[in-house]
Structure 1
């Protein structure tokens, strides 16, 4: 098995183009790329060569390095491992928190036709006139940040009766099997531990809960 430090070195060579052709690599340039000393860079090149993961040739203008078939296989194995980590299908994120009352603005905004039509077309939700607000637990705040890397659905801003309404982004989710969506206005005034959701039903009623009740939100990638 390739040592972690050697794998980092091999990846750096690949990023320089060493998978497709011989690339000029000196101990000094590699050291600068990896943030190590030239002596350490030289030892790693020797280690990779001894393991038959790279081949090195000297030319008049310096040293050239090519990643071998075995070296490419090592990189592909690492790539496959990262794909299993980051591209697992149907990964589920769980957010936990407690139900809180909103500021009262949601009822107005989610009833505006320019938003309602987009919620229906893009989310499959004709929203109940009001939002469901949750204060996340400290442990769920970091999970909430991870959701930013997901593919959110854009809700486009529009003008209606000479008034401009801003855009937003939405992410489908569910609470106790009830379809809903996290909604973040383009100019959100909420802190990061507060999220606002829309649903076709008044979730407070169908769930039979009031402020302070525990809520679990599931987001499936």
Structure 2
């Protein structure tokens, strides 16, 4: 594995034309281009040569450096990794429905420390003690069925005070710009047209929502 500093130098040589053949180079000018000392630049060139990533030759007018096939392969590997990062496609889904009142169970469960700790760790926010209940429209019911289950996050069940609490699945989402998550208990059969959403704030208050208001839930994940 090529260390980052050597890879930086190899890339700089390639940008100067080193993949096309030997290029003239002095440690002083090369160091200046990388904002490092000539001594450090010389050590980096020696390190690249020892790894067979470049060749160096001395001519009457100075030092010539070229990237080897092995060096090109290393640069192509780096390029491929960056291409994977920046070419990832995003899947976006929107669920729409109307706000409804729940039974108050969400407030109880979101107040239990072990649940709260897991949500904070796995979702990045500590949930407000309560949930926003939404009744989905017919089209959104079908969209919900087709959501990629790989992106749901496991919330583990546990035992406390001689009582067993079941696990759940959570799907990160956003409502009105607020980070949220759809939560589905693993041991409870929930109506397919209703979802419960948790957030780090009281969504009804923050978004001025009342029963029967229309709301959209935005879901985005890597394809």
- TM tier, smaller: 0.5 to 0.7
Equivalent position of 2:33 in the other structure? none
5 Å-filtered alignment, 1:34-45, equals none
CA distance in 2: counterparts of 1:190 and 1:148, whole angstroms: 18
- Residue number in structure 2 paired with 1:91: 91
Q: In structure 2, how many angstroms separate the alpha carbons of the residues matched to 1:118 and 1:202?
A: 19
Q: Normalising by structure 2, what TM-score?
A: 0.59
Q: Which residue of 2 is the match for residue 49 of structure 1?
A: none
- Aligned-residue RMSD, C-alpha: 1.4
Alpha-carbon distance in 1 for matches of 2:189, 2:103: 11
Secondary structure at the aligned position of 2:108 is classed as: helix
Matches of 1:89 and 1:101 in 2, distance apart? 36
CA distance in 1, matches of 2:161, 2:150: 34
- Deviation track 1:149-199 (CA, whole Å, cap 9, x = no partner) reads 342100000011111100001000000101100000012232100000100
Structure-1 residue corresponding to 2:121: 121
Gapped regions of structure 1 (runs ≥ 5): 1-86
Question: Which residue matches 1:138?
Answer: 138
Report 1:64-83 matches (<5 A).
none
Q: Distance in 1 between matches of 2:164 and 2:149?
A: 28
TM-score by length of 1: 0.59
Q: Deviations over 1:91-134 (max 9, x none)?
A: 11000000001111010001101100000000012011100000
Q: Secondary structure at the match of 1:187?
A: coil
Q: Secondary structure at the match of 1:180?
A: strand
Provide the rounded CA distance (Å) in 2 between the counterparts of 1:182 and 1:105. 15
For the pair shown, which has the larger CA radius of gyration, 1 or 2?
2
Number of matched pairs = 135
Aligned to 2:177: 177
The 1:138/1:88 distance shift into structure 2, 3 A limit, reads farther
Note the residue ranges of structure 2 that are not aligned, 5 or more in a row.
1-86
Distance 1:140 1:215 in 2: 12
Structure 1 consecutive aligned stretches of length 4 or more whose deviation exceeds 6 Å: none
